[in-house]
Copies of this chain bind each other. A is one copy, B any other.
Amino acid sequence: MSLRIAALGLLAEGPASGYDLLKHFEKSMANVWPATQSQLYSELNKLAAGGLIEVIAVGPRGRKEYQITADGRAELVRWVTSPQDDPPFRSAALLRVFLLGLIPTGEARSHLHHMAEHSEAEIRRLSELRDSLTCGRVFDSSDEDFFGLAALEYGLRLNAMQAQWARSVADQLEA
């Protein structure tokens, strides 16, 4: 469901081919909903079969340019306003936390430090991504990627929280 929506969402900004979408996708929504090339191409076929998008041109190398249809836009708005049927939150990293008692305390502490470092590296990666997207310009709520930047800000805060949490749990473990 979600990948289908991601594809529709990208096409809502204008016509594109699967290949174009994939490129754009990796810099934006793939950060919150990763997907592979195979998956995206097959979703595009399903969307076209369902009439939510349509092929408006065929270029060199069999390139198919897709465009969102009115039905597609309707489906997109329906989904955006229906948060109740989202798939649930899942985190293997937190599941691991539950099981940290199975390894020696020193190793558990070390794992927590690694988690903190990983979050800090993510913060650097996301900061760079933000800089590459904004490239110095100012932006406000009418900006076309205002919400993409808001999602990015979420990622920054999430990782900051995670690093602090991991260090605080590690500290409790020392005692």
**Partner-B contacts on A (CB < 8 A):** 2, 5-6, 9, 12, 28-29, 32-34, 73, 76-77, 79-81, 83, 86-103, 105, 107-108, 111, 114-115, 140-141, 144, 146-148, 150-151, 153-154, 157-158, 161-162, 164-165, 169, 172-173, 175
Contact = CB atoms under 8 A, between A and B. Distances in A.
A153 B147 CA distance: 28
Task: Give the interface SS of chain A, mostly helix, strand, loop or mixed.
Answer: helix
A98 B114 CA distance: 30
A90 B107 CA distance: 28
A155 to B, nearest CB: 8
Nearest to A162: B154
Going nearest first, the 10 A-B pairs with the smallest beta carbon separation are A32-B94, A86-B92, A34-B88, A97-B151, A150-B169, A100-B147, A161-B161, A9-B99, A33-B95, A141-B173
